[in-house]
């Protein structure tokens, strides 16, 4: 078996650490400046562990999308319900909540952007997210802790640190290396 490059191993180690934290917390937050690797790490967690959940959903770059389209994707991922373009997704939010209560669900919210977006998704503010018996796990990343602090315990906050120079160079060269092969 080929050895993984050192930066890939470090990423997998961080993903495993986040997954371990998710075993004890319903909601975990990755917080840090843009470009530091929150999306990459969230994607790695999802890629490694989504198959351990009945209903996984990765909501990519939420701040850049219409929140209704994000809710429709969540509805489709969790409830297998696809809505027509102009159909109101809010009348189906109870189904999303029911699936999150009754099933083992993983939701990754990438770059939530605003408190309004977070609350529109109705993920961490519902009772199921704080129930210790709940099997639903939510990983949310954001640049601003103030957006998340009323929804995520301080003990479930991960501050993304800067990469060491050697890892940063390799990490940011990775797309170029993969394209050039």
Q: What are the angstrom distances between the C-alpha of 25 and each of 16, 22, 116?
A: 14, 5, 23
Rounded-to-integer distance, Cα 127 and Cα 122, Å? 10
The Cβ of residue 25 has, within 10 Å, a number of other Cβ atoms equal to 20
pLDDT of residue 172: 55
Q: At what angle do helices 165-180 and 6-24 cross, to 10 degrees?
A: 110
Q: What is the pTM of this model?
A: 0.81
pLDDT of residue 12: 86
pLDDT of residue 30: 92
Rounded-to-integer distance, Cα 152 and Cα 35, Å? 22
pLDDT in tens, the chain (181 residues): 455 555 566 788 888 899 999 888 888 999 999 888 899 999 999 999 999 999 999 999 999 999 999 999 999 999 998 888 788 888 888 888 888 888 899 999 999 999 899 888 877 544 445 555 678 899 999 999 999 888 888 888 998 875 555 555 555 555 544 444 4
Record: fold of 6-180: Rossmann fold (3.40.50)
pLDDT of residue 5: 53
Buried b (16+ CB within 10 A) or exposed e, 146-160: ebbeebbeeebbbeb
């Amino acid at each position: 078996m080929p050895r993984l490059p050192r930066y890939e191993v470090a990423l997998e180690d961080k993903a495993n650490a986040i997954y371990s934290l998710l075993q004890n917390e319903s909601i975990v937050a990755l917080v840090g400046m843009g470009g530091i690797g929150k999306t990459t790490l969230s994607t790695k967690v999802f890629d490694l562990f989504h198959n351990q959940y009945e209903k996984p959903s990765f909501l990519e770059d939420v701040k850049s999308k219409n929140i209704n389209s994000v809710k429709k994707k969540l509805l489709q991922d969790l409830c297998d319900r696809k809505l027509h373009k102009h159909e109101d997704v809010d009348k189906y939010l109870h189904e999303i909540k029911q699936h999150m209560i009754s099933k083992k669900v993983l939701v990754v919210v990438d770059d939530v952007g605003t408190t309004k977006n977070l609350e529109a998704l109705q993920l961490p503010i519902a009772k199921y997210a704080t129930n210790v018996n709940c099997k639903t796990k939510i990983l949310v990343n954001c640049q601003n802790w103030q957006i998340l602090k009323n929804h995520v315990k301080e003990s479930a906050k991960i501050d993304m640190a800067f990469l060491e120079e050697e890892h940063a160079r390799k990490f940011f060269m990775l797309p170029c290396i993969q394209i050039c092969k």
